[in-house]
Amino acid sequence: MPDYLMMERSALQAEQVRLRQAYDDFAQKGLKLDMSRGKPAANQLDLSMPLLAMPDCLDRDGTDLRNYGALEGTNEVREYFAELLGAESGETIAGGSSSLNLMYNMIDLGWRKGFSGCAPWGKQGRVKFLCPSPGYDRHFRITEDFGFELVEVPMTPDGPDMDAVERLVRDETVKGIWCIPVYSNPDGYVYSAETVERLAAMKAAPDFRVFWDNAYLVHHLTDEACTCPNLLAACKGAGNPQRVLMFCSTSKITFAGAGVCAMAADAANIEAARKYLFAMTICFDKVNQLRHVRFLRKEGLAAHMQKHAALIAPKFNVVLKGFEEELLPCGGIATWTKPKGGYFISLNVLDGCAARVVALCKQAGVVLTGAGAAFPYGCDARDRHIRIAPTYPSLEELQAATQLLCLCVRLAAMEKLLA
């Protein structure tokens, strides 16, 4: 296969005719596939079905969990999530079924009540939030919805570009940053120890908060279990204990949207969160919390996650192999990440081509995440990033979708080179 960037115009034109024919043939196949969200496949959800048959309603202290009470979760449950997040159980709150919901609540707390004795964010005039990009669209959406100005920060394989972050946070109207430290969505990057140290120690506004979303902390795809140092411990060490709010959930461990989420932070933040939640609810679903903890303890979390990996690692491999066979030989028309965990692959195509690739795929029956979705305001200034979510489709569907995607990347590149 020729390197597109080295080809003569006439050869490019001939290749374009060939690609167009292959694309039309594909469109005839009537594929119908939605790869727009990172969802577990049904066979992954099946792994946790025994959970639903668990009758456990009494926690180890004998408390009847079918009744009101224990807003922060019972000790048994808090201890489990504290261990997972790397905090004390008194620094941990077990919540409902969505960590995103809890993050929204904490942004709302900052917005309406304020953190660290400062005025509420919503009363401070123009306020900004840092968005390492590409990142998680639903994070950005929360802060956009409240009225923050979203500030894009480039992602690197070690985490957000810390030179940029340190420069930006000198401005005290910058109130926080979204972080996905392990197997980031969508690049699959793992923050380095240096990034963690710098986030903990940098000079920032007293009510600046790192939203540390550890959604994929145990979601390894290989035998290498990548980890990232504990930001809460680093913040305490640096004399900024209130800087971080850490989150996780079992959405991609057990059931997406029907699992359990948790948050950990220093005592002052936990007390502020508790007061906030007290006004919002009497308690979360403690029956679901307890059966989750007991199921995962019985299974062994690592063993359970290996079962997930056995189902989804082959899917990542199908996509990556497809890219290597169909895109690599075409020269520099695309680059992609090779994650060791998490739920996504980032594909970068030639500048100005991402929206075209997504549109071509859609016309032929494969819906991808919208181009630009992983950037603040849904706007990728270079129009080059596409988020690939390989977990939900079957291996066969994924094979076909990857072939089509590669074809569309090549067609879009060809259109650009011939324009």
Can you give the binding site for ligand PLP, defined by CB under 6 A? 38, 98-100, 136, 180, 185, 213, 215, 249, 251, 256-257, 261
How far apart are the C-alpha atoms of 54 and 292, rounded to whole Å?
9
Of the two residues 99 and 337, which places its CB atom closer to ligand PLP in the complex? Answer: 99
Is residue 19 within 8 Å of residue 327, measured between CB atoms? no
C-beta of 136: minimal distance to ligand PLP in Å? 4
Of the two residues 176 and 241, which places its CB atom closer to ligand PLP in the complex? Answer: 176
C-beta of 52: minimal distance to ligand PLP in Å? 18
Of the two residues 59 and 213, which places its CB atom closer to ligand PLP in the complex? Answer: 213
Task: Give residue number: closest CB to ligand PLP.
Answer: 249
Q: Where are the alpha helices (DSSP H) in 114-161?
A: 137-146
Report CA dihedral (162, 204, 190, 34) to the nearest 10 degrees: -100
Of the two residues 26 and 316, which places its CB atom closer to ligand PLP in the complex? Answer: 316
**Angle, alpha carbons 347-353-356 (nearest 5°):** 105
C-beta of 94: minimal distance to ligand PLP in Å? 12
**Identity at 396, one-letter amino acid code:** E
Of the two residues 389 and 408, which places its CB atom closer to ligand PLP in the complex? Answer: 389
Q: Is 240 exposed, middle or buried (0-12, 13-18, 19+ CB in 10 A)?
A: buried
DSSP state, residue 328: G
C-beta of 216: minimal distance to ligand PLP in Å? 7
113-116 long-range CB contacts below 8 Å, 24 or more apart? 113/272, 113/276, 114/207, 115/206, 115/207, 115/209, 115/242, 115/269, 115/272, 116/206, 116/207, 116/242, 116/268
How far apart are the C-alpha atoms of 339 and 189, rounded to whole Å?
7
Element (H or E) spanning 349, and its range? strand 345-349
C-beta of 49: minimal distance to ligand PLP in Å? 19
Element (H or E) spanning 44, and its range? helix 42-46
C-beta of 254: minimal distance to ligand PLP in Å? 11
C-beta of 29: minimal distance to ligand PLP in Å? 29
| HSE toward the beta carbon, residue 37, CA cutoff 13 A | 6
Of the two residues 219 and 356, which places its CB atom closer to ligand PLP in the complex? Answer: 219
C-beta of 378: minimal distance to ligand PLP in Å? 16
How far apart are the C-alpha atoms of 268 and 266, rounded to whole Å?
6
